[in-house]
Amino acid sequence: MKFVAFERALQGTGASRRLRITGRTPGIVYGGATDKALLIEIDHNALWHAIKKEAFHGSILDMELDGKEHKVLLRDLQMHPYKQQVLHIDFQRVEAKTRMTVKVPVHYSGEAESPAVKTENCLVNHVLTEMTVVCFPADIPEFIAVDLSGLTKTSSLHVKDIVLPKGVKAVAKGKVNPVMVSVTPIVEEVEAAPVVAVDPKDAKGKGKGKK
């Protein structure tokens, strides 16, 4: 995916505010062999349409700057708390021989055909919607495909159960083998028998029956 950026000369809160008024979004590019931060600006309308695409968030991007293309990866996106506005954006330079840690979206399929849903009356919960992986830039997958057609009432799916593409390794943070998908039986509520109201007069009359 490609986008166009322009070098930015001024920095600071005031300069960034003035830049946003003109319809541009301030950003920065860091990392790489030089490790020198580069200040950039991007047309906000073009950026707003780009961030709606999944590929912009999890794949290597081609940034055109001064007629040259640079390989970068989106690292941070700062949004306005209530306006539809990108306040700031961060990219990292990509080098072919350097492994990178990235978050990749997970695409689930087949759960409607699984025994858990089709015959065992269960609810399938997608615990993870993205996975953190480490690999070389050329091996970064656009998404991780996970087939759920084999799920049953007593099964669940963990990160280590997934077969990842060649050269890609999952990174577990905090947990050794996080749950990706869980299966929960649907409990059907049983309606209680209706309570019949008893007239106090009738109850009193019943108390005077035969001994």
- Where in the chain do CATH 2.40.240.10 domains reside? 2-93
Homologous superfamily (CATH) for 2-93: Ribosomal Protein L25; Chain P (2.40.240.10)
**pLDDT tens track for 108-167:** 999 999 999 999 999 999 999 999 999 999 999 989 999 999 999 988 899 999 999 999
Assigned CATH class of 100-185 = mainly beta
- Where in the chain do CATH 2.170.120.20 domains reside? 100-185
Kindly report the pTM of this predicted structure. Answer: 0.75
Residues β-bridged to residue 40? 7, 27
**pLDDT tens track for 24-80:** 999 999 987 766 889 999 999 999 999 999 989 888 999 999 889 999 999 999 999
| Non-local CB neighbours of 93 within 8 Å, separated by 6+ positions | 29, 30, 31, 32, 70, 71, 72
